[in-house]
Amino acid sequence: MLYRVREVAGKRDLKRFIRFPESLYKGCSQYVPPLHKGQEHELMHAASLRYCQRKMWLAEDASGKVVGRICAMINPRYNEKYGTRRVRFGWFDLIDDVEVARVLFDAAETWAKEHGMEEIHGPLYYNTLGRQGMLVEGFDKLAPFSCLYNHPYYADIVQELGFEKECDWIQYMMPADKGSGNRLKEISDRLMQRHNLRIADFDVLKKDRNMVRQFFRMYNESFDGHVYNFVPFTEDEVEEEIDQIIGQLDRRLCCVIMDADDEIAAFGIAMPSVSKAMQKAKGSLFPFGWYHVLRAMKDFTCLDLMLVGAAPKWQNTGVSALIHGMMAQQAQECGARWALANPQIETNTAVNVWTRYDHELWMRRRCWIKKIK
């Protein structure tokens, strides 16, 4: 069958672009739809677009029905930092037909070549905080709301088109009802005293915009040079995250350790799983989606571990183990039964921390790459 591809232009095309996965994954119990408004913001108004370029395309069959979509993004800060000429692809979804993928990638690569790009990789977001990585293991698992889900045939299709593995992200599922244990608590108390550390009042901290900015500065420092492909966030991106995310966090699931200089030494951020609620919301908080999400935010049975890290000067001092122990204790006190670790590059030695707990490999996602011909 012949397919045509055309650039997204106007509100009608954007709506079709955003909502195409709803028909593609109809009846799939593992797929979690993102919010329509959130997708519109990311595609049209995200802070990253102040320095990134992007184009979107739809693939249609002869009847005009959408059969695929793709977004191509050029992040000049990434290319400058790593000395590359790469275009990213994301929002990649399609029916099980390699020819759909071919016309979509042809459009994306043609545009990329016009801008001097030599390689294409993805699925990626503009920056590290967005959804990224094509699912290659764990298709029978319910996807976290913050992560991508895709059909198994995606990987076969991109490999047929010449893509190769660039890197993998892995996630572990662990019991969350065991706490940290008395011995670890004693060790933690001694560490806190020895280093003159204290636990911040999270409700006070998240209302202090300057303190939250310090958190993101430390986050940039912690991950820069340690996380594959990481690019520090701009001030605009930080402000966007503060506005959209920080207010939703619950002090019972978050922990921040401060040092004697009132600087952040380590942090742990978790949220209740909202995947099932988002499935019920079907992409919109209105009229009843908000009710399902609000209920889910009060159910701590299963937690998504969003961010865990330590400031560079506190790494390899025991503080990382300290923050993990505190989060384990919080999870137990909140009645959590399970915790799902955030995706981490498999080559990052920090991922080994999860092997200290009872754990199960839950999902594996892959970034693919190939030369543009």
In this structure, is residue 351 part of a structural domain?
no
In this structure, is residue 59 part of a structural domain?
yes
Q: Which amino acid is at 288?
A: F
In this structure, is residue 344 part of a structural domain?
no
What domain count does the chain have? 2
pLDDT in tens, 207-254: 999 999 999 998 898 888 878 889 999 999 999 999 999 989 999 999
Same domain as 313, residue 225: yes
Same domain as 184, residue 156: no
User: Within the chain, which residues score under 50 in pLDDT?
Assistant: none
Same domain as 160, residue 20: yes
CATH number reported for the structural domain that contains residue 323 in this entry: 3.40.630.30
Distances (CA, A) of 111 to 57, 101, 238: 11, 16, 29
pLDDT number for residue 350: 64
Question: How many CB atoms within 10 Å of residue 8?
Answer: 20
pLDDT number for residue 351: 60
Q: Pairing state of beta strands 254-258 and 198-199? A: antiparallel
Q: Cα torsion at 328, 330, 331, 335 (round to 10°)?
A: 140
Range of the domain at 295: 177-336
pLDDT in tens, 163-196: 999 999 999 999 998 876 677 778 788 889 999 9
pLDDT number for residue 34: 97
Same domain as 98, residue 23: yes
Same domain as 308, residue 162: no
Same domain as 218, residue 317: yes
Q: Which residues pair with 307 in a beta bridge?
A: 269
**What is this structure's pTM?**
0.94
Same domain as 158, residue 198: no
Same domain as 326, residue 181: yes
Nearest partner of 233 among 341, 127, 370, 352, judged by Cα: 127
What is the CA angle 302-315-335, rounded to 5?
20
In this structure, is residue 371 part of a structural domain?
no
Distance CA 362, CA 345 (A): 14
Question: How many CB atoms within 10 Å of residue 137?
Answer: 17
Distance CA 367, CA 122 (A): 5
Distance CA 71, CA 89 (A): 6
pLDDT number for residue 64: 96
